[in-house]
């Protein structure tokens, strides 16, 4: 088997297997409850608050919350994909593998990307069913693509946090806080323009901020061309977090071997 | 060319504690360990907890870098040819961890086969063979979380053999395993060596080391204290006899009194419920000595509830205890040790 095919197999087969091994929410109740029910209630909550207080239209809150809903699978899943190795005591066995760390760990992100995009699309469908949200059918492919890019960026961010989790035992605290901050900083509920410059700056380097902006262009009927620049920035953010994750994995593994700072076994 | 070579290996750690008055300490875990293992040998590495065995193995299997010295696997330096070394070694953990509990044994092996780049065309056959070898055929689709300790240990061995390594490190493979499963594991280890592999085994069980190992290294305080065949190690105790006494309620002061006797090399206590079995290692210098030591032990403990008091020939375990207690007493106080 040639090198490319072998690496592709590790990415796909290894990624899917590790998803079942390391993702905490694979039981039906946890999976549906955490990934679907919780974001759905959040979406309903904000839409009804928006209606009640008259602070935002349905579409603004539906699109924002639907795009945000991919973050649970992406960020928590991405973190679990790496940090849970410590929890299960399997890190030593994985680190003894002679294969590329990027292929091993980044491949693990694939199922979470698909999962996150599925959740976002489901939320849009639920909004159509339960809240009467409508958008022209020809805008749907671009909208789905936007959620996919957002899910990729979230997963890359989750993998970065997971890499930090190899060193930081309490990484879940960081993940929880970051996840909550995204509600405020990414423009899903509060328009980015309303935020102070510092918070807007932080939001601009977080995943989803630009996906949400792109999704709004699409649903507003501005066309895919108008959403393009934001999507490209989101792709750039995904690439940046992926690179950070790879660098951190390399640094922490080297440090672990040099200073014995990682309880790898 | 040797399968495993450790040449003057050193490993120190720096630790720090305290917030206001931060104190830093350098801890020596491995302190100049050297040994060679030829291909096809089963080499045992023995030593008390914290002696440096696991640190030595972690250096040899590339998980840790040495702070001094060199280590090679089939001539490949573990620090410079890391990926090549990893392809040629298998590492088998002792204990419950190191497997994905939520996956079946089959999926665990499939995943690790990907991690160790086992050709997909031979993966299925290889996994079937290994499941057969470790006696898990028929149970391979069950989740590992439902496995007994012995089954997990057998799965660990199958995982370590997936990529058909030349050199296998077995770190306390029978720890916590029931006697029947441990016997099966020992048979499996012997089979590995018969198939031409080189095995480095750590264990706390002397009978296991004596049964399996071609040669044994005894390590304490990070240093290799003795190295040889089980028979050669036993000769460390050839000028000795062992007095074994069953007693209830002996205290440290009474043990110190035994230790102070001329000719007594070491005293250890094995607690078996309420019963204490005292093992007194004695240097002998003449035919009358064994009886003299037995009388001495009997008299010293006469005021306690005393059971059997016997003199016997030293075993490998006695030789090991003699090496370890002798060297630990002589170890410098400033040397702290981690495993």
**Cβ A20–B102 below 8 Å, yes or no?**
yes
Burial of B46 (0-12, 13-18, 19+ CB in 10 A): buried
Give residue-wise pLDDT tens across range A185-198. 999 999 988 999 99
Here the tokens at position A50 are 């928006």
pLDDT at A65: 96
For chain B, the first-to-last Cα distance in angstroms comes to 28
Span B327-335, average pLDDT? 43
Confidence tier at B217 by pLDDT (50, 70, 90): very high
Spatial distance between the Cα atoms of A83 and A87, rounded to a whole number of angstroms: 7
Give residue-wise pLDDT tens across range A206-225. 999 999 999 999 999 998 99
Confidence tier at A263 by pLDDT (50, 70, 90): low
Spatial distance between the Cα atoms of B111 and A17, rounded to a whole number of angstroms: 7
Give residue-wise pLDDT tens across range B250-301. 888 888 988 888 888 888 888 888 899 999 988 887 777 888 889 999 988 8
Give residue-wise pLDDT tens across range B65-89. 999 999 999 999 999 999 999 999 9
Q: Is the dihedral of CA B242, B245, B246, B248 positive or negative?
A: negative
Residue A228 has pLDDT above 90, yes or no: yes
For residue B57, what is the nearest residue in chain A, using CA coordinates?
A: A265
- Name the A residues in 26-45 with CB < 8 Å from any B CB: 26
Quote the ipTM score. 0.89
Query: What CATH number does the domain located at B239-312 have?
Result: 3.30.70.260
- Rounded to a whole number, what is the distance in Å from the CA of B198 to chain A's nearest CA? 18
Residue B149 has pLDDT above 80, yes or no: yes
> For chain A, what is the mean pLDDT?
92
pLDDT at B337: 34
State which H helix or E strand residue B125 sits in.
helix B120-133
**Cβ A264–B63 below 8 Å, yes or no?**
yes
pLDDT at A81: 92
Spatial distance between the Cα atoms of B131 and B138, rounded to a whole number of angstroms: 9
- Rounded to a whole number, what is the distance in Å from the CA of A111 to chain B's nearest CA? 15
For residue B107, what is the nearest residue in chain A, using CA coordinates?
A: A17
Cβ-contact B245, B251 below 8 angstroms: no
Closest of B143, B121, B56, B125 to residue B91, by C-alpha? B56
Spatial distance between the Cα atoms of A156 and A154, rounded to a whole number of angstroms: 5
Q: When comparing pLDDT for B13 and A40, which is higher?
A: A40
Residue B327 has pLDDT above 70, yes or no: no
Q: When comparing pLDDT for B300 and B181, which is higher?
A: B300
Residue B335 has pLDDT above 60, yes or no: no
Spatial distance between the Cα atoms of A99 and A93, rounded to a whole number of angstroms: 12
Confidence tier at B338 by pLDDT (50, 70, 90): very low
Q: Dihedrals φ, ψ of A29, to 5°? A: -65, -45
Q: When comparing pLDDT for B20 and A71, which is higher?
A: A71
Residue A234 has pLDDT above 90, yes or no: yes
Cβ-contact B244, B309 below 8 angstroms: yes
Residue A115 has pLDDT above 90, yes or no: yes
Residue B224 has pLDDT above 60, yes or no: yes
Q: Of B64, B84, B107, which is closest to A257 when you measure between CB atoms?
A: B64
Identity of the highest mean pLDDT range in A225-239, B22-36, B293-307: A225-239
Who's near B182: CB < 8 A, 6+ residues apart?
Answer: B150, B174, B208
pLDDT at B339: 32
- What number of other Cβ atoms are within 10 A of residue B89's Cβ? 27
Most A-contacting residue of B86, B87, B111, B163 (CB-CB within 10 A), to test interface: B111
Span B226-234, average pLDDT? 90
pLDDT at B331: 44
Span A41-66, average pLDDT? 93
Which segments of B61-96 does DSSP mark as H helices, in order?
82-88
Question: What is the pTM (predicted TM-score) of this model?
Answer: 0.84
Interface check B81 vs A, CB under 8 A = no
Spatial distance between the Cα atoms of B284 and B241, rounded to a whole number of angstroms: 7
Interface check A89 vs B, CB under 8 A = yes
Confidence tier at B334 by pLDDT (50, 70, 90): very low
Span B313-335, average pLDDT? 66
State which H helix or E strand residue A36 sits in.
none
For chain A, the first-to-last Cα distance in angstroms comes to 31
- Name the B residues in 147-166 with CB < 8 Å from any A CB: 159
Spatial distance between the Cα atoms of B269 and B276, rounded to a whole number of angstroms: 6
Spatial distance between the Cα atoms of A57 and A47, rounded to a whole number of angstroms: 8
**Residue matched to tokens 């995009």:** A117
Residue B236 has pLDDT above 60, yes or no: yes
Domain limits, chain B? 4-234, 239-312
According to the CATH classification, is domain B4-234 in 3.50.50.60? no
Q: When comparing pLDDT for B176 and A118, which is higher?
A: A118
For residue B64, what is the nearest residue in chain A, using CA coordinates?
A: A257
pLDDT at B182: 84
């Amino acid at each position: 088997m040639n090198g490319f095919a072998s690496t592709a197999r590790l990415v796909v087969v290894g990624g899917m297997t590790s998803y079942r091994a390391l993702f905490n929410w694979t039981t039906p109740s946890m999976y549906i409850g955490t990934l679907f029910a919780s974001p759905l209630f959040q979406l309903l909550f904000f839409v009804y608050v928006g209606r009640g207080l008259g602070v935002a239209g349905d579409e603004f809150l539906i699109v924002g919350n639907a795009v945000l809903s991919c973050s649970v699978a992406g960020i928590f899943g991405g973190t679990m994909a790496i940090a849970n190795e410590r929890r299960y005591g399997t890190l030593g066995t994985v680190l003894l593998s002679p294969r590329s760390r990027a292929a091993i760990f980044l491949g693990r992100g694939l199922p979470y990307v698909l999962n996150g995009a599925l959740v976002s699309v489901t939320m849009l469908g639920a909004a159509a069913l339960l809240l009467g949200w409508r958008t022209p059918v020809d805008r749907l492919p671009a909208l789905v693509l936007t959620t996919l890019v957002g899910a990729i960026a979230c997963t890359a961010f989750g993998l970065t946090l997971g890499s930090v989790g190899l060193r930081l035992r309490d990484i879940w605290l960081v993940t929880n806080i970051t996840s909550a901050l995204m509600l405020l900083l990414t423009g899903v509920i509060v328009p980015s323009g309303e935020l102070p410059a510092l918070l807007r700056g932080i939001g601009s380097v977080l995943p989803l901020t630009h996906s949400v902006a792109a999704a709004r262009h699409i649903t507003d009927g501005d066309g895919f061309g108008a959403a393009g620049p934001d999507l490209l920035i989101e792709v750039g953010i995904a690439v940046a977090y992926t690179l950070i994750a790879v660098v951190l994995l390399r640094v922490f593994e080297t440090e672990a071997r040099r200073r014995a700072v990682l309880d790898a076994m | 060319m040797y399968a495993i070579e450790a040449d003057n290996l050193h490993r120190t750690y720096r630790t720090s504690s305290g917030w206001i008055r931060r104190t830093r300490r350098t801890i020596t875990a491995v302190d100049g360990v050297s040994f060679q293992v030829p291909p096809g040998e089963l080499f045992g590495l023995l030593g008390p907890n914290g002696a440096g065995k696991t640190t030595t193995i972690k250096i040899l299997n590339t998980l840790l870098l040495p702070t001094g010295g060199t280590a090679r696997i089939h001539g490949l330096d573990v620090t410079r040819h890391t990926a090549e070394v990893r392809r040629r070694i298998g590492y088998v953990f002792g204990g419950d961890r190191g497997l994905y509990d939520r996956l079946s044994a089959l999926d665990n092996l499939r995943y690790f086969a990907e991690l160790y780049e086992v050709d997909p065309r031979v993966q299925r056959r290889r996994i079937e063979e290994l499941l057969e070898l470790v006696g898990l055929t028929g149970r391979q689709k069950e989740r590992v979380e439902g496995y007994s300790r012995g089954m997990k240990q057998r799965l660990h061995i199958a995982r370590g053999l997936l990529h058909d390594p030349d050199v296998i490190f077995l770190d306390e493979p029978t720890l916590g395993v029931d006697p029947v499963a441990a016997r099966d594991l020992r048979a499996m280890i012997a089979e590995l060596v018969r198939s031409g592999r080189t095995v480095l085994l750590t264990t706390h069980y002397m009978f296991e080391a004596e049964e399996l190992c071609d040669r044994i290294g005894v390590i304490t305080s990070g240093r290799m204290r003795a190295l040889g065949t089980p028979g050669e190690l036993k000769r460390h105790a050839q000028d000795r006899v062992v007095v074994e006494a069953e007693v209830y309620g002996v205290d440290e002061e009474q043990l110190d009194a035994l230790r102070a006797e001329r000719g007594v090399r070491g005293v250890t206590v094995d607690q078996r419920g309420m019963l204490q079995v005292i093992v007194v290692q004695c240097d002998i210098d003449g035919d009358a000595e064994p009886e003299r030591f037995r009388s001495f032990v009997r008299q010293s403990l006469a005021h306690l509830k005393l059971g059997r008091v016997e003199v016997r020939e030293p075993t490998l375990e006695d030789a090991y205890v003699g090496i370890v207690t002798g060297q630990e007493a002589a170890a410098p106080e400033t040397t702290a040790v981690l495993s």
